[in-house]
Amino acid sequence: MAKGNISLNSITPINEDFGRWYTDVVKNAELIDYSSVRGCVILRPYGYAIWENIQRIMDGMFKETGHENVYMPMFIPESLLQKEKEHVEGFAPEVAWVTHGGSEPLAERLCVRPTSETLFCDHYSRIVHSYRDLPKLYNQWCSVVRWEKSTRPFLRSREFLWQEGHTLHETSEEAVAETMQMLSIYQQVCEEYLRIPVIAGRKTDSEKFAGAESTYTVEAMMHDGRALQSGTSHYFGDMFARAFNIQFADRENKISYPFQTSWGVSTRIIGAIIMTHGDDRGLILPPAIAPTQIVIVPIAEHKEGVMDAVDKLSEELKGSYRVMVDRSDNSPGWKFAQHEMKGVPLRIELGPRDLEQNNCVMVRRDNLSKRVVSLEGIKDEIALEMAAIEDGLFEKALNNRLERTYECADYKTLAEHSKTNGFYKAMWCGSSECEEKLKEQLDISSRCIPFSQTEISFECVCCGKPAKHMVYWGRAY
């Protein structure tokens, strides 16, 4: 397969043109292929396997917290989409419309779901009657469609895969607690598994989800200093319940409206992984979601004993890791480059000279450090190395964020720092006029009002009026 490919080394250096580097990586690491539908990509086996690993981790966490999976139709009748006013205004401009079934025009056109609040509400209105039916803790794994003008693999695609949780509760307290619980699960997924440090907080009103009372987010910083929203959790109050007439008999037997949440993470998160950890040699995958965690590359495999030792090692590791032996007829150098491009966390090289001393060579993908390790007790060494990789990835990402985070007590400092991409911590009065101004004048937007607040000054960085919150500002993907 090597022969037909572009040279693996031909990717754009990461600090020369980050956008081109990104596109080169998603193609060369064989994550995606462009399809003949503009704005839609194909998730190739390697890209999809990353998503499967993320799914498995998240699905386990959802189930542990009592959530159940369901599947709703992919179509929403126009009249149903229009039931909640703010919601339809937010989504209608970017939906794809089905107008014909076979050769016949439909009586009512259907949109391909951009998100499924309306479908869940419609279902809930039929199945929820009493407080005994609550809470409803549903989630679905599916694809959604948003007819974006400009697209980019993983980051903005006309169709993308995601999970969307939709829950319904007796009280607003319960619904708020659910919103927070799911945000903290997202934070855990990002930080513990994907090794991406995030800032958790609330979105300002102008950045919140169409129809939500409040939107919470985990925001990550990419290698180039831009922000990427990595998961959102919305609290709806009872607005949707009222719009869809979801009612239940409460504990006092009075008719009440339940309170609702929704929360989602999409394949965008794969974009975050690429742009947080990658380097000039390509992808660097965190071990928890790497399709291959360890690649064993035989050196001089025709020499006696080499393949036996390789097979033995592979067998030994199989129960604990996703291991692959590269048996292709490419040269070792080519193999190294290929698995570096694909971001395999750990490479083990095994050749006749290593074997003589019962050793192997272990190479970390994240910092390319190389060590000679005894095959005796290698599993312990690998466990240590994997932990070191995990630490290294998180630390590098965190350092990048800290280096690019600026405390800006006044407008001048903000204006100066915002010439470089990064996070700018600055005080805000709470008005959308100031937000709008900063967008126009400095091309930055509010990322979130972090839960962890620091009082940098007492005045809004924009208008000088008394400040209400410290906000993270930045430029977002």
- Site residues, a second copy (CB under 8 A): 1, 3-4, 33, 35-37, 40-45, 48-49, 51-52, 68-77, 80, 92-103, 110, 112, 119, 122-123, 126-127, 129-130, 132-133, 138, 142-143, 145, 147, 158-159, 161
CB nearer a second copy, residue 151 or residue 260: 151
CB nearer a second copy, residue 119 or residue 355: 119
Q: What is the dihedral of CA 398, 422, 432, 177, to 10 degrees?
A: -10
CB 187 within 8 A of CB 58: no
Structure tokens at 108: 């009512």
CB nearer a second copy, residue 77 or residue 332: 77
- CA 418 – CA 435 distance, rounded (Å): 14
**Shortest reach from residue 2's CB to a second copy, in Å:** 8
**Shortest reach from residue 267's CB to a second copy, in Å:** 9
Q: Are strands 445-450 and 198-202 parallel, antiparallel or unpaired?
A: antiparallel
**Shortest reach from residue 204's CB to a second copy, in Å:** 26
**Shortest reach from residue 316's CB to a second copy, in Å:** 20
**Shortest reach from residue 388's CB to a second copy, in Å:** 30
CB nearer a second copy, residue 140 or residue 421: 140
- CA 235 – CA 398 distance, rounded (Å): 29
Distances in whole angstroms, Cα of residue 120 to Cα of each of 50, 74, 229, 427: 28, 12, 24, 38
Cis ω for the linkage preceding 135 (within 30 of 0)? yes
Task: Report CA torsion sign: 19, 22, 26, 32.
Answer: negative
CB nearer a second copy, residue 95 or residue 346: 95
> If you search the block for the tokens 């509760």, which residue do you land on?
169
Distances in whole angstroms, Cα of residue 281 to Cα of each of 285, 333, 395, 397: 12, 13, 19, 17
Closest-CA residue to 83 (of 50, 113, 121): 121
- Please give the single-letter amino acid code of residue 86: E
**Shortest reach from residue 142's CB to a second copy, in Å:** 8
CB nearer a second copy, residue 1 or residue 255: 1
CB nearer a second copy, residue 112 or residue 288: 112
Q: At 89, which helix (H) or strand (E)?
A: helix 85-91
HSE (side-chain half, CA atoms, 13 Å) at 455: 5
Residues 6+ apart with CB under 8 A from 217: 183, 200, 201, 202, 203, 229, 230, 231, 232, 233, 447, 448
- CA 443 – CA 436 distance, rounded (Å): 9
- CA 164 – CA 344 distance, rounded (Å): 29
CB nearer a second copy, residue 26 or residue 373: 26
Q: What is the dihedral of CA 163, 169, 175, 178, to 10 degrees?
A: -50
> If you search the block for the tokens 């001393």, which residue do you land on?
357
CB 420 within 8 A of CB 454: no
> 305: phi > 0 → left, psi -120 to 50 → alpha, else beta; which?
left
CB nearer a second copy, residue 159 or residue 349: 159
CB nearer a second copy, residue 3 or residue 302: 3
Structure tokens at 125: 């209105």
CB 261 within 8 A of CB 236: yes
**Shortest reach from residue 14's CB to a second copy, in Å:** 26
**Shortest reach from residue 29's CB to a second copy, in Å:** 14
**Shortest reach from residue 451's CB to a second copy, in Å:** 32
How is residue 440 annotated by DSSP?
H
**Shortest reach from residue 279's CB to a second copy, in Å:** 26
CB nearer a second copy, residue 18 or residue 120: 120
**Shortest reach from residue 112's CB to a second copy, in Å:** 7
CB nearer a second copy, residue 105 or residue 377: 105
By three-state DSSP, how is residue 406 classified?
Answer: strand
**Shortest reach from residue 291's CB to a second copy, in Å:** 10
